[in-house]
Structure 1
Amino acid sequence: MTRGTILITAADLAPAALALLSDYEIVYAGKTPQVADIVALARRHNPVAIIVRYSSVTAEVMDAAPALRVISKHGSGTDTIDKVAAAERGIAVTAAVGANAAAVAEQALALMLACAKSVVALNERMHQGHWDKATHKSLELGGRTVGLVGLGAIGQRFARMCHAMNLRVIGFDPFARDLPAYITPVDLDTLWQQADVISLHCPLTPENRQLINAQTLGRCKPGVIVVNTARGGLIDEAALLAAVQSGQVKAAGLDSFAVEPMVAPHPFHGQPGFILSPHIGGVTSDAYVNMGVAAARNSLAVLQASPQPA
C-alpha cells in the first residue's frame, strides 16, 4: 500500500531522489510531455504531488488531481507553474533553489567567454583551413564591467567567477541582501549604462518580461555582450537580433528562448554574433542529482507536514 502517486513530468528521475520517494507510486509523463498528456495522467492517477521537469502545470492539471498537495519544480524557475491557481486551491509550490547554481553559472561563464573570444567562429574558420592570427582581435574582459540582473544563488556564483577574472561586478536585485563586497548594487539605468557584459539570472515575471528590448539596448554601451541563462521571455528577440546586426550588441550568448524547443527556422539561425545552446545550463550529471533530490525533499516536506485529506 503506497501513500499515493507522484507524477514526474519527464521520463526519469535520479535514483537518489527515487530512493527518498520509495513509499509512493511513481508515474512518468515521458520525454516530451504536453499539458494534455499531464492532464490525462493526473485524471488517471490523481497524484498527491507533481515533480515538474518539463512542460507546464496549469489550472486544468490541478483540477484533474483533487488529491494534489504540492507541485515541486525540478529546478529553480517556477514560471511554468500557474502559482495563482495553485494558491487558490491550497496547493504548495516549491523550487529546488540553488541546486543547479554551479552548473548554470558555469554555462553563463562559457557563453560570456565564447562571445568575447569568438570561440565558435574561430573554430569554424580553423576547420576550414584558415589561420586568422593576423586579422583577429578578441575582447579582453579583465578590468571591464559585468552587470548582473538577479543576484540569487546562480547570479552570486557567477559574480564570484567574474570577480576572480578581475571584472568589476555590478548587479541589480531588489530582493538581494548581504551581498559580498565585490558586488556593487546599482539600479537598472546604471547597469545598462556601465556594463560591458550583461548577464541575466532572474526569474521571469509579468513585470520583467522583455526587460531586454530596443529601448534598454539603446541605453547600453556600443558593443555590449548579452548573456541569458535564465528565461527566454526576458528578451525581446526581434530587438536583440536588430541590435546584434547593427553592432550595438557585439554578441549574444543564449541558453533560453521565448519559445522552447526553438522552432526551426528561427531568426537567430545562421546569424553571426549568436552563440546558442538548448537550455542545458542546468543539465549536468551533478545538477540532475541535486535537483532531483531537492525536488523530492521539497515534496516530502509538504506531504509529511500534515495528514493527507480523507
Structure 2
Amino acid sequence: MSTKRPVFLVTGNDLAAPALALLGDYEVIYAGKAPTEDDIVALCRHHDPVAIIVRYGKVGAAAMAAAPSLKVISKHGSGTDTIDKTAAAARGIQVVAAAGANAAAVAEHALALLLACAKSVVTLNARMHAGHWDKATHKSVELEGRTIGLVGLGAIGLRFARMCDAMGMRVIGFDPFAKDLPAHVQSVDLATVWRESDAISLHCPLTADNAKLLNAQTLAACRKGVLIVNTARGGLIDEAALLEAIRSGQVASAGLDSFAVEPMTAPHPFHGEPRITLSPHIGGVTADAYVKMGVGAAQNALAVLHG
C-alpha cells in the first residue's frame, strides 16, 4: 500500500505558517514566485496534485489535464480570473476563493489612493523634496459632501463604502448581485455612477462582459474632473482611453493598483504622468492579509476534499 501523501501545489514560493499547519496530511509543493503556465503544467504532470492553491500565474486547461487527481483549485484571495473556470467545470474540478480575506487590506489601499488623488500627496511630496513651497498656488479636493461611485459591492466594496461614508461622502454603487445593502449605500445603475460621481472606485471581478468597462465612451459620460481608483483588475480599464482622459482634464487624477499586463514593464505610457499614482498590485499584500488569505485558501480546499 502506498504511503505517499497527496499533493497540494502552491503557485507561489510560500504559504503562511497557520495555513501550512492545516495541511499536515499533504505534501506541499511550491511553484516559485513567478511561475509560468508551462511551469505549472510541468509540476502538475510530475506531482499530480489533488489541490492547487493559486497565488501567481494562470491555471488553465492544460494544467488540469496534467493532473488527473485534481479535485479543487483554491484562490489565495478573491479574484479567480486567472483560473479557467470553464475547463474546471468540464472536469468536475471545484474553483473556490478566499473571498473577504483581504477585504480590509484592499479597502484601506483604495482609500489611500483616493486620498492621494484628492490631496495630490505624491506630486506635492516631489515638489517639496525639490525645494518648492506651493501653498499659495495649490488647492486640494475636499471629499466631504462629494459623491463616490462604486462598481462592485462585495466585501471589499462595502468596507470601502463604510470608510467613505465616515468621511461624509455620498455613496452610490452598482452591483447586480448585491442584496440587503446598508443604508449608507444607494444602489444605482451604471449610467448613474458615471453621471453623478465625483470619484469612481472599481471593486468588481474581471469578466468577459465587463472588460474595458472604463473606456473612452464611459469616461466621457463622467463628470469633468472625476477621480478614478482601481484596486480590482487592470482589464477593467482601457488604459489608452484613461491616459487620454487624464491629459484632456476629463479625469483629474487616477490611483491604480492593477494593470492590463502585469508586471508592468518599462517604458509604459503611464510612466512620468504626475496625475496617475501607481502601486504594483499590492493592495491586498499585508502581513495580516497574507495569513488570512492562506488560511482561507487552505480551509476552502480542504472543505472540498473532505466534503
TM-score (norm: length of structure 2): 0.99
Once residues 6 and 31 of structure 2 are traced to their aligned partners in structure 1, the CA distance between those partners, rounded to angstroms, is 16
Preserved contact between residue 2 and residue 23 of structure 1 (Cα < 8 Å): no
CA distance in 1, matches of 2:155, 2:105: 11
CA deviations on 1:78-120 (whole Å, 9 max, x unpaired) are 0000000000000000000000000000000000000000000
Say which of 134, 144, 160 aligns to 1:158. Answer: 160
Q: Provide TM-score, normalisation by structure 1.
A: 0.98
Match of 2:239 in 1: 237
- Separation (CA, whole Å) in 2 of partners of 1:31 and 1:150: 29
Q: Which of 185, 188, 207 is the equivalent residue of 2:187?
A: 185
For 2:9 and 2:123, how far apart are their aligned partners in 1? Answer: 43
d(CA) in 2 for partners of 1:228, 1:105:
11
Q: CA-to-partner distance for each residue in 1:41-80, whole Å, 9 max, x for gaps?
A: 1110000000000000000000010000000000000000
Equivalent position of 2:74 in the other structure: 72
| Alpha-carbon distance in 1 for matches of 2:251, 2:258 | 18
Which residue number corresponds to residue 201 of structure 2? Answer: 199
SS state of the match for residue 299, structure 2?
A: helix
Alignment of 1:62-211 (within 5 A): 62-211=64-213
Q: 2: distance between equivalents of 1:142 and 1:65?
A: 53
1:227 touches 1:254 (CA, 8 Å); kept in 2? yes
1:3, CA displacement in angstroms? Answer: 4.0
Determine if contact 1:8/1:52 at 8 Å carries over to the other structure: yes
Q: Which amino acid aligns with 2:73?
A: I
1:308 aligned partner:
none
Unaligned segments of structure 2, at least 5 residues: none
Point out where structure 1 has 5 or more consecutive residues left out of the alignment.
306-310
Alignment partner, residue 52 of structure 1: 54
1:232 corresponds to which letter in structure 2? G
Is this contact kept in 2: 1:99–1:290, CA < 8 A?
Answer: yes
Instruction: Tell me which amino acid in the other structure corresponds to 1:98.
Output: G
Contact 1:2 1:24 (8 Å CA) reproduced: no
* In structure 2, distance between residues paired with 1:67 and 1:37: 18
Whole-angstrom distance in 2 between the partners of 1:273 and 1:284: 26
Q: How far off is 1:149 after superposition?
A: 0.1
Q: Which residue of 2 aligns with 1:215?
A: 217
Q: How far off is 1:145 after superposition?
A: 0.1
Count of equivalent residues: 305
Shift of 1:125: 0.5
Distance in 2 between the 1:299 and 1:272 partners?
A: 43
**What amino acid is aligned across from residue 245 of structure 2 in structure 1?**
A
Segments of 4+ in structure 1 off by > 6 A?
Answer: none
Shift of residue 22 of structure 1?
Answer: 0.7
Counterpart pick for 1:257 among 249, 256, 259: 259
Rounded Cα–Cα distance in structure 2 between residues aligned with 1:272 and 1:286 = 31
- Does the residue aligned with 1:160 lie in a helix, a strand or coil? helix
* Percent of matched pairs sharing the same residue: 72
2:281 maps to a residue whose letter is H
Structure 1 position 272, deviation (Å): 2.0
Report the secondary structure of 2:277's partner residue.
Answer: strand
Q: Cα RMSD over matched residues?
A: 0.6
Structure 1 residue 2, shift from structure 2 partner = 5.0
**C-alpha distance in 2 between matches for 1:304 and 1:180:** 35
Q: State the one-letter code of the partner of 2:229.
A: V
> Distance between the aligned counterparts of 1:94 and 1:140, measured in 2?
40
